[in-house]
Amino acid sequence: MAAYGYARVSSKDQNVRRQLDALQAFPLSKRNIYIDHWTGATFDRPRYRALMRRLRAGDVLVVTSIDRLGRSYAEILDQWRYLTRTRRAAIVVLDMPLLDTRVTPSNLTGAFVADIVLQLLSYVAQIERENIRHRQAEGIAAARARGEHLGRPRIRRPPNWEEVRERIRRQELSRYQAARELGIARNTLLKWLREDGVQPPEQAARGRGSGTREALAREAPAREVARAAPTPAVAQTPVAARAAPKPAQTQTQTHEQAPNHPDECSKNRNERPNTRNKPGR
């Protein structure tokens, strides 16, 4: 039987030292303590998954408080039943002695009391989490009602902003050139232009293009009429005339004009020099 500790904080800037001291005083060795810097709304955490791969039947899982295990009411109950019944591991919650399944592992009454206390504490943890969100939303609404700025601090406009804005209004600068000249992001430039009621250059160009689209729309009926007009007939040669065969032309070839006359061919053969038996070949 091995004992493992689990500690959790929601973010890396929170201190986990108090939980580590309590787990080591249980006692637990440092190599058996798993730490997550993760939200408690889900059990899909890297170190918790690694702990589940190592946990065996009969082992003990130790946490300092039930909200370190998780903050979701339904998921805490499901995980508790999974660990104690399916994985057959014991759970010890240090700040709540009633949530210790090692005390009477074979006592049904002890397990029953532990389940009741667990459901109550898990419900309280869920309600506290929802109250934190509700109080946060109320604080944000009150700050907005007082006119306070929330989020990142506003970027101060440079001294040459009015000059650049007028050049943008006269369409002498694009938003890329203006943002580069002011040393700000293009989204910040667009935000400032909207606040001052100035249309960005690209949007102004699209606005001029709408007039061209309207002109094309007005010319569309004329184009449709021209497309529907009948095409003038082109004079064509009758098919019968094109298909009629041409008369055969008789050509009279004389004896001298015949290229392959027998006498002429024999004369040419007799006059051709005989190089077949020439010496040296």
Confidence check: pLDDT of 244 > 90: no
Average pLDDT over residues 41-59: 93
> pLDDT tens digits, residue range 137-182?
888 888 888 888 777 777 888 888 888 888 888 888 887 888 888 8
Q: Which residues contact 88 (CB under 8 A, 6 or more apart)?
A: 57, 58
Confidence check: pLDDT of 271 > 50: yes
| Residue 73 to residues 26, 37, 129, Cα–Cα distance (Å) | 26, 20, 10
Question: Which residue type sits at 185?
Answer: A
Average pLDDT over residues 41-52: 93
Question: Which residue type sits at 210?
Answer: S
pLDDT category at 186 given cuts 50, 70, 90 is confident
Please give the pLDDT value at position 209. 46
Please give the pLDDT value at position 220. 58
The residues that are catalytic are: 10
Provide φ and ψ at 188, rounded to 5°: -65, -40
Sequence spans of domains, the chain? 3-142, 152-221
Relative orientation angle of helices 161-169 and 175-182, to the nearest 10 degrees: 170
Decide yes or no: CATH 3.40.50.300 for domain 3-142.
no
